[in-house]
Chain A
Amino acid sequence: SQQGEEDPQALSIQEGENATMNCSYKTSINNLQWYRQNSGRGLVHLILIRSNEREKHSGRLRVTLDTSKKSSSLLITASRAADTASYFCFFDTGGFKTIFGAGTRLFVKA
C-alpha cells in the first residue's frame, strides 16, 4: 500500500506465547487503531491509541506508538487459539481512513 506497511505478513506461534506485529505509516495521524478480522468476517475494533499517547493496554493487548518513527506495534500476550485471525492497523488522518496492507495473519497453534 502507498499509505503504510505491516509486518510480518504471517506469524505462527504456540498457544501461550506472545505475538508482536508492527505497522508503519507515512503521514501525520490523529490516532491509530488496531482491528481483528476472523476469516471472511467484518473487522472488530481492538484498541485505539491517540497521537499524544505512547502506550496503551487492554486486557492481553498492548499497543505502542512512536510518532517520531511513524510506527506502532501490537503485542498479544499469552496467546490463545481463539486469537487466530488477521490483524490490521488503521490510522486516522482526520477524514481519510485507510486500512493498509494485507494485515498480519496470526495463527496460534493449540
Chain B
Amino acid sequence: DSGVTQTPKHLITATGQRVTLRCSPRSGDLSVYWYQQSLDQGLQFLIQYYNGEERAKGNILERFSAQQFPDLHSELNLSSLELGDSALYFCASSVDNNSPLHFGNGTRLTVT
C-alpha cells in the first residue's frame, strides 16, 4: 500500500460532461503529481503541486484543471470530456523533488 488514495476507482460518463478526480497524498508528502495513461501508452505528466501551489505544468489540456487544498489533498477537474480523454489517471505524491514518487492505484475514466 503506497499510502496514496484515489477516488473514485472507476468513472463512466458521457462526452461533454465534467468530472472531478480526487487524490489524498501519503501522510507527510507535500508534492502531488497528476499523470494520464492512455491505453498502451506511457504516462503523460499533467501537473504538479507543492504545498498548495502549482509547481510545474506538463501536457495538461485547457479543459483540465487541478488544485491542491490546505489539507494537501488534490483534485483534478476534467471538463467538456471527449472520447479521447478515456484513460487511467494517476496521482502520485512525494516528500520533495528529490524523493521517489508514491503512486495511487488510479482512476479509470471511460467517456462514452
Contacts and interface: CB of A to CB of B under 8 A. Distances in A.
Chain B interface residue bracket vs A: 20 to 34
Contacts of A95: 48, 55-56, 97
Interface stretch (B13-21, B67-75, B103-111): B103-111
A102 B42 CA distance: 4
Contact of A40 (B58, B88, B101): B88
Interface of B: 2, 4, 33, 35, 40-43, 45, 48, 55-56, 58, 88, 90, 92, 97-98, 100-106, 108
Given A35-B103, A42-B106, 20 more contacts: A35-B101, A42-B2, A42-B4, A42-B90, A43-B92, A43-B103, A45-B101, A88-B42, A88-B43, A92-B97, A95-B55, A96-B56, A97-B45, A97-B101, A98-B45, A99-B35, A99-B45, A100-B42, A102-B42, A103-B42
